[in-house]
Structure 1
Amino acid sequence: MNLYIQRNLQINQIFHQFTTEKEVWPYSIDESILDMTHTWRLFGNSVREVARLIQKTVRQKLGLYTTVGIGDNPVQAKLALDLYAKHNHELIGEIHYETVPDKIWSITELTDVWGIGPRMAKRLNRLQIHNMYELAHTNPYLLKQQLGVIGSQLFATAWGIDRAQVTAPTKVKEASLGNSQVLPRDYFNQAEIETVIKEIGEQVAARLRHHHKLAGCLSLSIGFSYAAAEADGRGGFNQALKIEPTNDNQVLTQQLLWLFRQNWDGQAVRNIGVYSSKLSANSGQQLNLFETPRNQIRRSRLNQVIDEIHRQFGFTKLVYATSLLKGGTAIKRASLVGGHNGGNSYE
Structure 2
Amino acid sequence: MFDYTQFPKRSILCVDMKSFYASVIAVQEGLDPLTCHLVVVGNTDRNGSVVLAASPAMKKDFKIKTGSRLFEIPDDPKIKVHNPRMGLFVRVSTEITKLFFRYVPPSSVHTYSVDESFLNVGGLEKVWGTPLEIAKKIKNDIMLDFGLPSTIGIGPNMLIAKLCLDLEAKKSPSGISTWSYEDIQEKLWPISPLREMWGIGSRVEKTLNSMGIFSIGQLAKYDLKLLENKFGIMGNQLYHHAWGIDLSEIGAPIIQGQISYGKSQILLRDYKEISEIKSVILEMCEEVARRARVNNKAARTINFGLGYSKNEFGGGFHRSRTIENPSNITIDIYNVCLELMSENYRGQTVRSISISITKLENDYEMQLDLFDDNGWKKRKIGYVVDDIRKRFGPASLLRAVSYTSGGTALHRASLLGGHKK
What's the TM-score once normalised by structure 2's chain length?
Answer: 0.65
Q: CA–CA distance in 2 between the matches of 1:121 and 1:305?
A: 42
Q: CA–CA distance in 2 between the matches of 1:203 and 1:272?
A: 12
1:144 corresponds to 2:228: yes
Query: Size of the alignment, in residue pairs?
Result: 334
1:153 corresponds to 2:237: yes
In the alignment, residue 261 of structure 1 is paired with which amino acid?
Answer: S
Tell me, yes or no, if the aligned pair for 2:264 and 2:352 is still in contact at 8 Å: no
Please list the CA deviations of residues 35-74 of structure 1 after superposition, one character each: whole Å capped at 9, or x if unmatched. 1221244212x32222111101111122222110111111
Aligned counterpart for 1:224 among listed residues 307, 311, 335: 307
Q: CA–CA distance in 2 between the matches of 1:216 and 1:116?
A: 25
In the alignment, residue 17 of structure 1 is paired with which amino acid?
Answer: R
1:273 corresponds to 2:316: no
Greater helix share, structure number: 1
1:236 corresponds to 2:318: yes
Q: CA–CA distance in 1 between the matches of 2:235 and 2:384?
A: 49
Tell me, yes or no, if the aligned pair for 1:200 and 1:274 is still in contact at 8 Å: no
Q: CA–CA distance in 1 between the matches of 2:411 and 2:300?
A: 28
Aligned counterpart for 1:102 among listed residues 176, 183, 186: 186
Please list the CA deviations of residues 201-227 of structure 1 after superposition, one character each: whole Å capped at 9, or x if unmatched. 34456667778x695746242242486
Tell me, yes or no, if the aligned pair for 1:8 and 1:30 is still in contact at 8 Å: yes
Q: Find the counterpart in structure 2 of residue 261 from structure 1.
A: 342
Q: CA–CA distance in 2 between the matches of 1:229 and 1:8?
A: 41
Q: Find the counterpart in structure 1 of residue 153 from structure 2.
A: 69
Q: CA–CA distance in 1 between the matches of 2:379 and 2:167?
A: 53
Q: CA–CA distance in 1 between the matches of 2:177 and 2:372?
A: 64
1:300 CA drift (Å): 9.4
What's the TM-score once normalised by structure 1's chain length?
Answer: 0.77
Gaps in structure 1 of 5+ consecutive residues: none
Q: CA–CA distance in 2 between the matches of 1:72 and 1:210?
A: 33
Tell me, yes or no, if the aligned pair for 1:25 and 1:34 is still in contact at 8 Å: yes
Q: CA–CA distance in 2 between the matches of 1:230 and 1:154?
A: 34
Overall identity of the aligned pairs, in %: 31
The more displaced of 63-72 and 256-265 is 256-265
1:130 CA drift (Å): 1.3
The more displaced of 329-338 and 300-309 is 300-309
Q: CA–CA distance in 1 between the matches of 2:297 and 2:322?
A: 16
Q: CA–CA distance in 1 between the matches of 2:180 and 2:108?
A: 20
Q: Find the counterpart in structure 2 of residue 27 from structure 1.
A: 112
1:229 CA drift (Å): 11
Gaps in structure 2 of 5+ consecutive residues: 1-85
Q: CA–CA distance in 2 between the matches of 1:173 and 1:133?
A: 22
Please list the CA deviations of residues 251-309 of structure 1 after superposition, one character each: whole Å capped at 9, or x if unmatched. 654454334323434453513225485453599xx898788x8xx98x99998997787
Query: Are the structure 2 counterparts of residues 229 and 125 from structure 1 closer, same or farther at C-alpha, using a change threshold of 3 Å?
Result: farther
**SS at structure 2 position matched to 1:67:** strand
In the alignment, residue 32 of structure 1 is paired with which amino acid?
Answer: S
Q: Find the counterpart in structure 1 of residue 124 from structure 2.
A: 39
Q: CA–CA distance in 1 between the matches of 2:307 and 2:354?
A: 9
Q: CA–CA distance in 2 between the matches of 1:99 and 1:251?
A: 50
In the alignment, residue 332 of structure 1 is paired with which amino acid?
Answer: H
Please list the CA deviations of residues 214-252 of structure 1 after superposition, one character each: whole Å capped at 9, or x if unmatched. 9574624224248699975x75223343458674x6565
Q: CA–CA distance in 2 between the matches of 1:161 and 1:186?
A: 45
Please list the CA deviations of residues 97-135 of structure 1 after superposition, one character each: whole Å capped at 9, or x if unmatched. 122222112223211100112222221212222112222
CA RMSD between the two structures:
4.0
